[in-house]
Structure 1
């Protein structure tokens, strides 16, 4: 495939739906598939034409649906298979495509495969998962290796029925599949075909970086004070997984006009992304990386109440790294956050100047090259939740880590204070649809907290306000899709300017003779810069009054604009 070959997924505008928190249609406090159907016209009006929906499969909900017990059925929380079919049909009527979360790394411990696998060492399904014997250290049995889990503690869980340990890099209720077993691969491929034949348009492939792992099961020698070593390279981005993905492509994907985006997480390099999604690789279409998600000081705060400050220099380096190293070689997704990160308004924006800072953030990101993915609620400027106690959190990984931290003597209040800045639970509070009880998400108390700022931040009020952040997002997406400029925004080159400036992020998009300059001031200060261009036309600005002289440019706080230049 040529980089410039036009594909629907290159030109799409995506929107991620965390189903449990999107819209409750039957007033049980839980978002559901009919709730998405109810809001399809809102999404179309926003300007999106691709929905990524988080897992809706049957699940015990230990990790909000990423622990699947039946891939062929819908969770009772979310509706029925008929509801899913109706959603696909109604979305297509509005020219909206749908991709589903494909959970490839693990199942629930309540999945029929695992129920069989744990019964005995010679069960036909035993090798569907990764089992190892414990080892003796000074006469005491310990886990097979000292590898850590992403959710805290060991990545091994002992099962008393056979006395062996199964691998689980996430929750103990989420045993990892053994992709080295061809029967596992066959089963997963058949499941993927089921959903494609039902009419979905592709997959976001969850935790795809982990489906291959070290098979020597040797202890990590990583220097770490932790008992279990966070040596993610033991089961992340290993070469063998590309054989599995190529097989997936050949056995399933090549027969459909669909898109795939994989989650490779932190630590992956652009060269590794090209191995996943290179134009000649026949694996995935693109991959999410997390490099730009933590370009601030939230992990370095000395006190929880300290100010969170964006490290723009680092962020610009991350954008440069992915925009330039992948261009012409692989496709790129664009996103500020997903269900696993804090709210972008609280990370990089200003909660007291939501419209200005939020419009700046939208301008900075969504005119780069790649396929945009807006996260639900981002378009109205939703913020982090004011967590106060451990009981306020829902995330199993936070609860696990909290117990470990307290057992090690950490102060509970400080732990909560730091975690409030970082927790993925921030992104999982229900969407604030209107200034009404529970933010209009439901008429009963929802499964998770509604942010108390819903009277000030909600869809209904922002739809009525032409100066709202929501209406600015609509302008951004309308401009990106404008036929006069679309090829430049989708396929054009990217060149960053003002690399050393501490406040301003600026870049040029060019396709043929057309040049579009994007300039954003990331901070609540005035900034003076000089750019050697002449303006032809102002296409978008987040300030009403503007008289831009690029060679002597005085930017107001959070000012951003998009201009056609000569």
Structure 2
């Protein structure tokens, strides 16, 4: 594909916004659309091309907006449809695109479709959701299968009124839509997609995109003998009709030149992933594979200890996603280390100790900018926000995933204090809550998240470290994480053939401390070297490039030493 034919989303840098936690314009303690509009110039100044807004739809907020009551309305504390139209226009007027979250595997149980569906077995919308009769074992009523929900417990909820179970892969308040029903699919496209495409949005991040075709829904193998409910992700992901459903969706999207990036969990077979992102197949433009952000997680996400990973683990995960675009592939890939479902990357992959967090944040920025694919930054990542501390108690964890896990450990161990402390340590390292704290804009009250005269407390506790990490301070500090993000994104754009589209080759997978890889594009080559330790290391040139002329393009530290990498230093060299 020639450079002139590249679609706009390939070279783009995407900035993800979690509306509740970005900026509160009216002092009610909750971020809102007008708050986002007020910071569009800031977002653009980073070097961003595309703004992604997490669910801003009308919702009871059981799962922070991923339980949608009305696709065609906005959650009132965030604003109105008119505010959303203004946000779209203001984003476009600054030369940026805007994409929304598309959550169409499930709705809220308060959505009018579901209210009809559960009203009676003979309701015309009964088949818009997935209903099944009970199984009886020795006279005892049981759900139709043994699947565990993504938020613990069974995926089946008994409905007393109609005497059947409905399926919910997530919370009981998030019933799954029945994609087998053609009428349902058409209603989804019209209400959730075309309503917003007509208003000018440029595409979607597609939530749980590979769960629409559920297959036969047989029992899952027993992998957790201590539970009645078993992991079934390989059953309900990538089912037999996925290709058909996505091709149909794509016909709607194509009319608007809209991009898609799909959330694609439980898909270890990279051939399957490549099918999803193949230009020829016309299913999705790209996907989020979770290989990289799953590094260090346990069999159930939190069943692990902090930093339970090695650098070779991380390298292999990165290689899997980078190889999606290796010739002769016609696919595309993504680069991300953070999102609304992940803890902060500095805490997870480098060190959030005061003496290292800035260096760690800059090195990770350099690493990401050197990888091929569309680059995604999550709000606060650009200033180096880190996880909140272990001293915060469980009342500060607002996410259903965190509280459910902590309660489950308590229930299974009879409240064993040691086990609960272990669970809290895992949450302090991996919980989604860390990404959801309010942005630190300044050292003003509430970290500048709410107006200074606001009397309402922010919906979630702001971080305690705004004095050392906030946007206002970093905007005037040339040595800040923010200043480096701006610089490295300029470097990425100046060398986009090589850094965005180039072929990735890891040059020493097994080195436990140094990450070194090359990028190649049409005879041009670059070398990226990152020191993942908290001490200086000798810079050893890999044998694959020895003898080649190395010109330093950029380093993540000022005044680097020849032949030596500082603690958490990253460098990119051009080779000749």
TM more than 0.5: yes
The aligned residue for residue 456 of structure 1 is: 468
The aligned residue for residue 312 of structure 1 is: 311
2:524 counterpart of 1:503: no
Aligned equivalents of 2:49, 2:3: Cα separation in 1: 21
After TM superposition, give the deviation of residue 227 of structure 1 in Å: 1.0
Q: Is the CA contact 1:296–1:308 (under 8 Å) kept in the aligned structure 2?
A: yes
Aligned equivalents of 2:15, 2:350: Cα separation in 1: 20
| 1:477 aligns with one of 482, 489, 497 | 489
Deviates more, 1:343-352 or 1:217-226: 217-226
Gaps of 5+ in 2: none
Cα deviations by residue, 1:274-333 (Å, 9 ceiling, x for unpaired): 1211121111100001111132377799999x7635511011111112212432331001
Go from structure 1 to structure 2 and tell me whether the alpha carbon gap of 1:36 and 1:4 turns closer, same or farther (over 3 Å shift): same
Aligned equivalents of 2:270, 2:3: Cα separation in 1: 16
Q: Is the CA contact 1:298–1:422 (under 8 Å) kept in the aligned structure 2?
A: no
SS in 1 for 2:330: coil
The aligned residue for residue 363 of structure 2 is: 360
| 2:424 aligns with one of 395, 412, 416 | 416
Go from structure 1 to structure 2 and tell me whether the alpha carbon gap of 1:535 and 1:450 turns closer, same or farther (over 3 Å shift): farther
Q: Is the CA contact 2:343–2:429 (under 8 Å) kept in the aligned structure 1?
A: yes
Deviates more, 1:324-333 or 1:463-472: 324-333
Q: Is the CA contact 1:541–1:561 (under 8 Å) kept in the aligned structure 2?
A: yes
After TM superposition, give the deviation of residue 224 of structure 1 in Å: 2.3
Matches within 5 A, 1:2-21: 5-21=5-21
Go from structure 1 to structure 2 and tell me whether the alpha carbon gap of 1:117 and 1:533 turns closer, same or farther (over 3 Å shift): farther
Aligned equivalents of 1:383, 1:156: Cα separation in 2: 36
After TM superposition, give the deviation of residue 523 of structure 1 in Å: 1.3
SS in 1 for 2:213: coil
2:557 counterpart of 1:543: yes
After TM superposition, give the deviation of residue 416 of structure 1 in Å: 2.2
Aligned equivalents of 1:274, 1:2: Cα separation in 2: 21
| 2:459 aligns with one of 430, 437, 447 | 447
Cα deviations by residue, 1:505-547 (Å, 9 ceiling, x for unpaired): 1222222232222111111123332231534532211222235
Q: Is the CA contact 2:346–2:357 (under 8 Å) kept in the aligned structure 1?
A: yes
SS in 1 for 2:41: helix
Q: Is the CA contact 1:433–1:459 (under 8 Å) kept in the aligned structure 2?
A: yes
SS in 2 for 1:498: coil
After TM superposition, give the deviation of residue 44 of structure 1 in Å: 0.7
The aligned residue for residue 439 of structure 2 is: 431
Gaps of 5+ in 1: none
Aligned equivalents of 2:291, 2:306: Cα separation in 1: 21
| 2:408 aligns with one of 404, 414, 434 | 404
The aligned residue for residue 373 of structure 1 is: 376
Aligned equivalents of 2:3, 2:105: Cα separation in 1: 30
Q: TM-score, normalised by structure 1?
A: 0.94
Cα deviations by residue, 1:481-505 (Å, 9 ceiling, x for unpaired): 12xx222222222222122211111
Aligned equivalents of 2:424, 2:318: Cα separation in 1: 31
After TM superposition, give the deviation of residue 389 of structure 1 in Å: 3.3
Figure out how many residues of one structure are paired with residues of the other and give that number.
Answer: 557
The aligned residue for residue 106 of structure 1 is: 106
Aligned equivalents of 1:320, 1:565: Cα separation in 2: 21
Q: Is the CA contact 2:306–2:429 (under 8 Å) kept in the aligned structure 1?
A: no
Q: Is the CA contact 2:336–2:375 (under 8 Å) kept in the aligned structure 1?
A: yes
Aligned equivalents of 2:145, 2:309: Cα separation in 1: 38
Matches within 5 A, 1:124-523: 124-191=124-191, 192-215=193-216, 217-225=217-225, 226-250=227-251, 252-296=252-296, 308=307, 310-327=309-326, 328-352=329-353, 353-386=356-389, 388-409=392-413, 410-411=415-416, 412-442=420-450, 443=454, 444-482=456-494, 485-523=495-533
After TM superposition, give the deviation of residue 269 of structure 1 in Å: 2.8
Go from structure 1 to structure 2 and tell me whether the alpha carbon gap of 1:72 and 1:429 turns closer, same or farther (over 3 Å shift): same
Aligned equivalents of 2:316, 2:272: Cα separation in 1: 18
Aligned equivalents of 2:253, 2:295: Cα separation in 1: 35
Go from structure 1 to structure 2 and tell me whether the alpha carbon gap of 1:12 and 1:28 turns closer, same or farther (over 3 Å shift): same
Go from structure 1 to structure 2 and tell me whether the alpha carbon gap of 1:282 and 1:39 turns closer, same or farther (over 3 Å shift): same
SS in 1 for 2:264: strand
Aligned equivalents of 2:246, 2:516: Cα separation in 1: 37
After TM superposition, give the deviation of residue 214 of structure 1 in Å: 2.3
SS in 1 for 2:76: coil
The aligned residue for residue 554 of structure 1 is: 564
Aligned equivalents of 1:307, 1:202: Cα separation in 2: 36
| 1:530 aligns with one of 530, 535, 541 | 541
Aligned equivalents of 1:318, 1:111: Cα separation in 2: 38
Go from structure 1 to structure 2 and tell me whether the alpha carbon gap of 1:210 and 1:269 turns closer, same or farther (over 3 Å shift): same
Q: Is the CA contact 2:324–2:333 (under 8 Å) kept in the aligned structure 1?
A: no
Deviates more, 1:169-178 or 1:383-392: 383-392
RMSD across aligned positions (CA): 2.0
Q: TM-score, normalised by structure 2?
A: 0.93
SS in 2 for 1:382: coil
SS in 1 for 2:294: coil
Q: Is the CA contact 2:302–2:427 (under 8 Å) kept in the aligned structure 1?
A: no
